[in-house]
Structures are given as C-alpha cells and as structure tokens.
Chain A
Amino acid sequence: MKPVIELRQVHRDFQVGDQVVHALDDVNLKIATGDYLSIMGPSGSGKSTLLNLIGLLDRASSGQYILDGRDVTSLSDGEQAVIRNRSIGFVFQAFHLVPRLTAAENVELPLMLAGMPLHERRSRVAKSLEALHLADRAQHKPDQLSGGQRQRVAIARATIMEPAVLLADEPTGNLDHRSGMDVVEILETLNARGITLIVVTHDAELGRRARRRLHMLDGRIHVEQGATV
C-alpha cells in the first residue's frame, strides 16, 4: 500500500544558547494509510517534535516530508494551515478546549475555519457529538465537563473534518485509567474505520496496543516493532 506519510532523512535542530539540540536526528519513516502507530521513549527523546512535524505545526531543518504523495517539506504558512485543517486532526494531553465556547462550538471550530455554511455544520457537529455520546453535553462549557468528556469533545473536534491522519500526544496523560481506556477505545474505533492513528505515549501498556511501535531515543528511531510498510 502507498504510504500516507513518508519522512526521508529528517533532522530537526534547535539552537539553545550556543548549543545545537538534535531533537530529530536522521528520521526515516513510512506510515501506511490506516496504520496504528505508537511512539514511545523517554522524555526529551523527540516524540512531540516528530508528531508536530508530521502535523505540519513545525518544519524540518533538513530532509523531506511527503504527505499523501505531495512534498510538503517547504510549504508556506497558509498552505500548511489548509492541510492541517483538512487532513490532520490533533488530540492533546491538555485537551485545549476554548473555555468560553460550548462543547458544540468547540467541535465546530475547524468547520468555521474552513468556511463551511452554518446549516451543514450544525448537523455534522450534532452527529459527531452523538457518536461520542456527548449529545446531552453539546451546550455545556468545558468547565462543566469531566476530563474524559473534554477529551471526547477534543476528539470530536479533531475528526469533524474527516482527516486522513489523527495525531494524539499523550491523549490519556491527564485522565484517570477508566476515562483513559474510554478514549483509547474511541481512537482505536476511529482507526478501525480507516483513519491513520499516531499516538505518542510513555505508557507502555497503551503503546503495546498499537500495530506498529516506535521507540525513540535522542531524536532517533531506536527500535521499531510490528508491521512495516
């Protein structure tokens, strides 16, 4: 199968004072459409940097990034934004819901940014919240929701544009075990329906659930387990 994501000799360097930190050091990676990948490794090993790069929130210092057959290594800010909006969904450890907006409005944000007409948006948001068992919470503000509910709202928001790739950075990091498992099951269900899922975690149990497992160390892919493309 053709890979949806391909990284070739990707480096990401940060200048810290007069030192250069190699957050990513010669990363080569192919991820197939519909894959389920976990990225593990100690703190500071480059997991988030890799995820942000894949999510086009960041740019490689050198190397090449091909997304869905298109070279996206050096796109403009605006072009990156469009791809993030249409093809990539983010789920964060800290949920990052906008506190003054209701659950439904938070989910609606990507559709608003895409300029979708109101009536179309409403039904899509309703369906999405329904699927995540949040229909009765649609008009609640984030501070009226539990952690698990918040993360479900965040997942609804990340998937409302039906992106090809869903990126989750420590999605269960702020949740108790039960809600964490709920969230993981939801993510896996979405993967089973075809979305490419990449989860960063340092929870070994969670990491093991993925078909493909990367272990990072000092900016390199140290060990890789599971099926490769």
Chain B
Amino acid sequence: MRIRDFLGLTTSAIIAHRLRSLLTALGIAVGIAAVILLTSIGEGIHRFVLQEFTQFGTTLVAINPGRATTAGTSMGVFGTERPLSIGDAEALSRLPFAKAVVPFVQGNAEVKADNRRRRTAVYGSGPQMPQAFSMSVRLGRFLPADDPVAPRAFAVLGSKLRAELFAEANPLGKRITIGGSRYRVIGVMEPKGTVLGFDLDDSVYIPAARALNLFNRGSLFEIDVLYRETAAVDTVVAGIERVLKARHGKHDFTVTTQQQMLDVLGSILDILTFAVAAIGGISLLVGAIGIVTIMSIAVNERIHEIGLLRALGASRGQILGLFLGEALVLAAIGGVGGLVMGIGIAWLLHLLLPALPVHTPMLYVLLAESLALCIGLLAGVAPARRAAMLDPIEALRTA
C-alpha cells in the first residue's frame, strides 16, 4: 500500500468523526501545551537567573557563617556558632589573590531626610563593593576606605531612594537619619535595577560595622571575595579556609564558589523541571487514555470495515498499520495544536508580564512533538492489535 493512500484512508476516518477526533486531539494538545508552556517558563527563568548570577563575573567566592553539609543550605544561615566578623573580612583582604573583599549585612530601616521619609533596604558593605559587583557611582563617591571597625557615618544612596528623598535636588553633603542615627550623604549610585529580586536602587549603602550596630547583629551575613583571574579556584578556597580556620579555631563557615552556586541553581531548576514533567506527564497520560478509548470505540464501530478490508486482501499488518496510523495522526494533530497553544500562551504571558522571562527552545518543540507521536503510538498499539487480530469471518458476520 502506498503512503499517500495509507494517509488518505486514516485521515478519512478521522475526518468522518471530526468533533470526536478534535476532542481526542485536544486531550493531547492540552498536555503538550502544558509541557511547552512550563518548560518555556522554566527555561526562561533558568536563563534569566544564570545571567543574573554571572553578570558579576565568575571569580567571586561567598563565605557564610555556619558549616553546611551541602552547599545549598548555607545561604542565609543566621544562627551561627561563631560569627563572621569585620576582622575576618580584613584578614581575607590580605590574601595575595584577593582583588576585593566585601563584607555584607542587610536589613530594613526608615531613612529620613528633612521632611521626607522612606522605609528602605539598608546594605552594610565595604569600600570595594562597586569593584566586586561592577556597580558604578553617578554622583560623589562610594564609601571610603575608613578604619573598618570604626568607619565614619557616610551613606551612599541608590538612585531610586535619592529620587524619593531629594527629587532633583543635589543630595551630596546632606544629612539623613537611618534608623535613628545620623549619616552624611557622600554619593549616589547609577541605577542598577533588581538583581535576584533585590531592588538595588531602592536602597542605601552604609559601612558594614555601622549596619551591624544598627541591626544589632553580631555577625556579617556574608563576605564576598573577588579573586584574581590568574588564581586557581582551589587555591582561593584553600587560602580562605586556612585564614578563617586559624582565626576561628574550627571550620564553622561555608565557602561557596560561583560554580557551586550555579550547581545549586541547577539542582533547583532540575527539581522545577521534574515538577513540570510530572504535571505535563499527567495531562499527557489523560490525553493518551483518550486516544486508547476513542481507538477502541473506532475498532468496534468499524468491525465490518476491518473484516471487509481483510477479505479484499489486507494483511493483519496493514490493518495494524491503519489503526496505528490513525492514533498517530490524532496525536500529531494534538501535538501541533498543543505547540501552537503552548507557544501562544507563553507569548501572551510575555506580553502581559514582561518581567517573567519566557523562552521556548526549538529543541523542546521537536521533543514535545516527538513525545506526542510516541504517546499516539503507545496508546494506539492495543486497539490496533485487537483490530489486526480479529477473525475476518467473525468481523463480517457481526451484526
């Protein structure tokens, strides 16, 4: 039998039951749309986060207080045995490979300037922060290299906070209060936007030692070390560990390299992908059951046709092929419909929520369509086999 005739026969059967075929294909389409939509969002987020993470370069190492067994759980561990201190950061900055060492504390506080006030994020940091995180100063200067333990009360404003507090006026040299303490504004940062959900523009930067006092904390959240590109990451980690172990007397901190962060990120995204696969899988399973049902009904309805085709010289193989082909065409239609639906919704979502990153790789499109075909094949096998194994005499005689 020729391919064209084969397709002609299968599609004629599908067209003869338009509505039913459409509904069956819809079952697959919903599953494929779910898979495409969710993977598009997942992939979009993946790319987005990856870009956010690597924008500071890859020669960054984070040190957090507390010893974690896995790299992932150390982020944001606050209840520590031995805190990370400003002194630790100082000691690390004397390491030969350290280009920049940035202590980091974060909290929220009310910032007042003359008659304006705003609750905002307060970042306690050090003078090398702009260098480590590729930030630049628009007006004035960043925090100076003061005595790290007793720095002067200087503050640098994020661009948005500056606009909120001072509008167009020049803020340099102005006095503000942050959580009740007085500071003098010495600089304004370039707009940076949000990084991993933190609005860096709606914020104020003050020396880390002062932030520790302000938030009444005994430990830094984190120390970030930017190291020279020529240094090997293992040497960097070993060096940091040696210094801190010597100071603390034990290994009660966690060093996370950029690569480890990416690995953690990867494993989180893997879980996400798995969840997506599970959701899509369930919808596809429902779609597959629809195909099995409809094909079983079709075999029963067309029992005479099967007997007749056999009498006219169709082999069991040809009957199997015809019904399998029908299931495949149904699944393929559903697959294409699902792709259009999924990509369409992803695109709409992108229009409505520009902040939500969406990306549909061509590979996923091809994989989804192949998946639909596989499902059609699997779902079609049992009914098609039944059709092929029918006794032609029985089939012709059945009332």
Q: Which residues of A contact B (CB under 8 A)?
A: 52, 55, 57-58, 77-78, 81-86, 90, 92, 94, 96, 98, 100-101, 105, 109-110, 112-115, 117-118, 157, 161
Contact A84 B16 (CB under 8 A): no
Known: A85-B312, A96-B396. 9 other contacts (CB 8 A): A58-B393, A78-B315, A81-B313, A81-B315, A90-B311, A92-B396, A105-B12, A110-B313, A113-B318
Chain A residue numbers with a CB within 8 Å of B98 are: none
Q: Could you list which residues of chain B lie within 8 angstroms of chain A, going by C-beta atoms? A: 1-2, 4-5, 9, 12-13, 15-16, 304-305, 307-318, 392-393, 396
Contact A96–B304 (Cβ < 8 Å): yes
A55–B309 CA distance with the chains assembled, in angstroms: 13
CB-based A-B contact count at 8 angstroms: 70
> In whole angstroms, what is the CA distance A161 to B268 when docked?
65
B311 adjacent to A113 (CB under 8 Å): no
Given contacts A78-B315, A81-B315, A100-B12, contact A109 B393 (CB under 8 A): no
Contact B13 A96 (CB under 8 A): no
Among A83, A92, A98, A114, contact of B305 (Cβ-Cβ < 8 Å): A98
- Determine whether the beta carbon of A112 is less than 8 Å from that of B311: no
Are B1 and A112 neighbours in the complex by a CB distance under 8 Å? yes
Please indicate the chain B residues that have their CB under 8 angstroms from the CB of A105 in the complex.
12
Q: Is the CB of A96 within 8 A of B313?
A: no
Do the beta carbons of B2 and A113 come within 8 Å of each other? no
Bound CA span A115–B305, Å: 19
Residue of B nearest to A163 (CB): B313
Residues in A with CB closer than 8 Å to B12 are 100-101, 105
Q: Known: A100-B12, A112-B2. Contact between A86 and B393, CB under 8 A?
A: no
Given contacts A57-B392, A92-B396, contact A113 B312 (CB under 8 A): yes
State whether A81 and B310 are in contact (beta carbons under 8 Å apart), knowing that A92-B396, A100-B13 are contacts in the complex: yes
In the complex with contacts A112-B5, A115-B1, A57-B313 CB distance below 8 A? no
Bound CA–CA A98/B305 (angstroms): 6
Once bound together, how far apart are the Cα atoms of A55 and B9, in whole Å?
25
Q: A96-B304, A115-B2 are in contact. Are A110 and B312 (CB under 8 A)?
A: yes
Enumerate chain B residues within 8 angstroms of A52, measured Cβ to Cβ. 393
Report how far A77 CA is from B318 CA in the complex, Å. Answer: 11
In the assembled complex, the CB of A220 is this many whole angstroms from the nearest CB of chain B, namely 20
The smallest beta-carbon distance between A193 and chain B, in angstroms, is: 21
Docked complex Cα distance between A115 and B318 (Å): 12
Per the bound structure, the CA–CA distance linking A225 and B206 in Å amounts to 119
A204 to B20, CA, bound (A): 47
Contact of A77 among B5, B9, B305, B315 (CB under 8 A): B315
CB neighbours (8 Å) of A100 from chain B are 12-13, 15-16
Find the B residue at minimum CB distance from A86: B313
